[in-house]
A and B are shown apart, each in its own frame.
Chain A
Amino acid sequence: MSHQPFEDWILDDEALSGEEQQALDAHRAACASCTRLGTARTAVDRGLRQAGMLAPSAGFTLRFSQRLAQQRMRSGRRQAWGTFALAAAAAGGVAIPLALLVSRDRMSLGDWVVQMLIRLYDAWVGLRVARGFVQVAWNSLPDALPPAWILGIVAACLGIGVVWIATLYRFAYRRVTEGA
């Protein structure tokens, strides 16, 4: 005996037409298997609905707030460690080439100090030259460029500065306060 479509009608939620209901009743009267299935479905539905809604133990919201605070703290700690690791990597990036440079030259400590002083002096001279260049540009720019250009350049510099500060704020401060 074919149990279709009666099995589907028993198990699904689709509303049956009068004719379909009559056909199902007639089939169930003759088919023990579909009668059992119908009885079982009714029993299962009743059992599930009778199980009721369970509630968590008291203080669930408080525990949630504590968990959120803990997670935020962990997130802040992770970010601090990340910043530290980046700073350490940057310091290593500078220190390792310097150490290689020093060890390659195989200089005595005195020679090394002298070399470092010479390099510092070179850097200082370089900065002075750069400052002189900026001063010359500053003095001659108003004559060479129209005021609109100068305003544009100043605005662009300010814009870059604002973007830089906003980026620092977003990555170094906001991420922690959001607790993400």
Chain B
Amino acid sequence: MTRSRAASIDRGETRWLERARQGDEAAFAELVEAYQRPVYNLCYRMLGEAGEAEDAAQESFLRAYRGMRRYDPARSFSTWLLAIASHHCIDQLRRRRLPVDSLEELEPWEEIPDTGPGPEKAATLREGRETARALLARLGPQDRAVVVLRYWDELSTEEIAEALSLTVKAVKSRLHRARKQMAESWLRNEPEPAWNGGRADVPSAV
């Protein structure tokens, strides 16, 4: 999101929120426009498939629209929205209950076109996405949500706790466990991937 776009959202958001709480569909559509990316990204990182992510993101916005009267303006709207999306994705994953035992079992990566960067940067980005997906695939639903909210949405521990209805201690513990699991997974899948720069000064991990 560009800086000017973010600034215009800040200016308009309070007004949109107020109108959306009164049932104004057009105002809520503005909120959808502004928040579609973080919500979709969260759903994609959680579910790992573009179609399911689109469906989950749409459903999250519908739930938010229906629950707008319950939204407390004193709270951050983005945290509230991401909480709805996280809970929905956690439910979806629990319903799915398909454990991934090895990285080879993952479905082929669906190519998402990169419009901006050149071929080299695009390749690094693609590899980064592939690695992120593989690392997240091994985590349980709630640990995955904690990691996505921390790394992509940059929420604080307190905000993650609020979003996922957990204690701060539980969030820290889940983040610790998830990082350990991902680090072990990374160590098993050496050699050094391109997104780590392939630097010679980094000691061999295994």
A interface, CB within 8 angstroms of B: 7-8, 11-13, 35-37, 39-41, 43-57, 60-61, 63-65, 67-68, 71, 178-180
Are B187 and A60 in touch, CB under 8 angstroms? no
Of B36, B38, B206, which is in contact with the most chain A CB atoms at under 10 Å from its CB? B36
Are A52 and B40 in touch, CB under 8 angstroms? no
Are A11 and B25 in touch, CB under 8 angstroms? no
Residues of chain B within 8 A (CB-CB) of A12 are 172, 175-176
Are A39 and B203 in touch, CB under 8 angstroms? yes
Are B54 and A47 in touch, CB under 8 angstroms? no
Residue B23 contacts which of A37, A46, A178 (CB distance < 8 angstroms)?
A178
B6 within 8 A of A: no
Contact of A61 with B36 at beta-carbon distance under 8 Å, contacts A41-B183, A50-B124, A67-B58 already known: yes
CA gap between A48 and B129 in the complex, in Å:
8
Residues of chain A within 8 A (CB-CB) of B131 are 47, 51
Residues of chain A within 8 A (CB-CB) of B128 are 47, 50-52
CA gap between A128 and B90 in the complex, in Å:
66
Give the interface SS of chain B, mostly helix, strand, loop or mixed: helix
Instruction: Closest B residue to A8 by CB, please name it.
Output: B176
B98 within 8 A of A: no
Contact of A60 with B186 at beta-carbon distance under 8 Å, contacts A50-B195, A178-B23 already known: no
Interface residues of B in 48-88 (CB under 8 A from A): 53-54, 57-58, 61-62, 65-66
Residues of chain B within 8 A (CB-CB) of A180 are 66
B170 within 8 A of A: no
CA gap between A126 and B132 in the complex, in Å:
81
Give the interface SS of chain A, mostly helix, strand, loop or mixed: helix
User: Chain B contact residues (Cβ within 8 angstroms of A): what range?
Assistant: 35 or more
Shortest Cβ distance from residue A14 to the other chain B in the assembled complex, whole angstroms: 9
Interface residues of B in 164-198 (CB under 8 A from A): 172, 175-176, 179-180, 182-184, 186-187, 192-193, 195-196
Interface residues of B in 83-114 (CB under 8 A from A): 112
Are B205 and A39 in touch, CB under 8 angstroms? yes
Residue A60 contacts which of B40, B66, B206 (CB distance < 8 angstroms)?
B40
A-B contact count (CB 8 A): 122
Shortest Cβ distance from residue A3 to the other chain B in the assembled complex, whole angstroms: 11
Instruction: Closest B residue to A55 by CB, please name it.
Output: B37
CA gap between A63 and B54 in the complex, in Å:
10
CA gap between A130 and B112 in the complex, in Å:
78
B33 within 8 A of A: yes
Of A50, A51, A71, which is in contact with the most chain B CB atoms at under 10 Å from its CB? A51
Shortest Cβ distance from residue B46 to the other chain A in the assembled complex, whole angstroms: 12
Instruction: Closest B residue to A60 by CB, please name it.
Output: B36
Residues of chain A within 8 A (CB-CB) of B152 are 48, 51, 53
Offer 8 A-B interface pairs, CB within 8 angstroms, sorted by A: A43-B205, A47-B128, A47-B195, A56-B57, A60-B57, A63-B54, A63-B58, A67-B62
Are B183 and A47 in touch, CB under 8 angstroms? no
Are B203 and A47 in touch, CB under 8 angstroms? no
Are B29 and A64 in touch, CB under 8 angstroms? yes
Residues of chain A within 8 A (CB-CB) of B23 are 178
Residue B33 contacts which of A37, A44, A61, A67 (CB distance < 8 angstroms)?
A61
